[in-house]
Amino acid sequence: MKFDVDPKIFSFFPGMHLVVAVPETLTNSDSEGLVSAYWNQAWIAAGNLDLPNAQSHPHVRQFREQFQGIGVSHKKFPTSIEALLRRALKGGDIFSINPMVDFYNAISLNHVVAAGAFDLDPLEGDIELRLTCEGDQFTALDQDEAIMVDPGEVAYASGSTILTRHFMWRQARTGLVHQDSSRIFLVSEVPAVAGKECAIRIEKEFQEGLRDFFSVPSQTFLLDSQRTQIEF
């Protein structure tokens, strides 16, 4: 399979890096509680950050400014890291979805970047990060029927199936990582203000976490405006 990024995306988010990890076939379980401990540590650390609110963090603030620059309301369509950090800062009990989701959410909070994953099995084609076009469809998590998506949104896609709305805002039912998912594509969006060094640390954390928590090796990649396509 391939992952292909439209170069226009990097013009909207200059200096951004994308970190991708594709592990070998795995079992999405946490029998020894290692992921749970890792996620709990990240949640507590994020909750203790000295921030008045999530949008005051430089990483979140830069994404908000860049989305505003392309006409996307950060109030209506907050990025996944803004929503996650806001929830952590409020404190309260930690939540858990499944080990893989908890793993990438921990990485997201550890570095205050967006992170997510797609189950590769339901996808009928390669993965793209591009602008939506006529005929693209999106099925929300709480809906059975797909809706047509207006052209011009930044989105992950596979064929005409839109996997996320507004880049890092909302994920589709298609490609959602479940407890029984075994073939997974992970990606983290790292804003320019975080720097390439942050992206390299995330790449290493993906590798080590997949090895130590899920007992699988992985292919990892770093994409930017100079490298917009990979094959895995």
Residue range 2-231, CATH number = 3.50.40.10
Per-residue model confidence (pLDDT) at position 92: 84
Q: What does pTM read for this prediction?
A: 0.97
How far is CA 208 from each of CA 17, 54, 205, 220, rounded to the nearest angstrom? 19, 28, 5, 11
Please provide the average confidence, as pLDDT, over all residues in the chain.
Answer: 98
> How does pLDDT run across 25-75, given as a tens digit for each residue?
999 999 999 999 999 999 999 999 999 999 999 999 999 999 999 999 989
Per-residue model confidence (pLDDT) at position 30: 98
Provide long-range contacts, Cβ within 8 A and 24+ apart, for 191-194.
191/13, 191/15, 191/16, 191/59, 191/62, 191/63, 191/66, 191/113, 192/13, 192/14, 192/15, 192/16, 192/62, 193/15, 193/58, 193/59, 193/62, 194/59, 194/111, 194/112, 194/113
Per-residue model confidence (pLDDT) at position 144: 87
Res. 84: pLDDT tops 90: yes
Q: Looking at residues 168-177, what average pLDDT do you find? A: 97
Q: Where are the domains of the chain?
A: 2-231
> How does pLDDT run across 134-145, given as a tens digit for each residue?
999 999 998 989
Per-residue model confidence (pLDDT) at position 150: 97
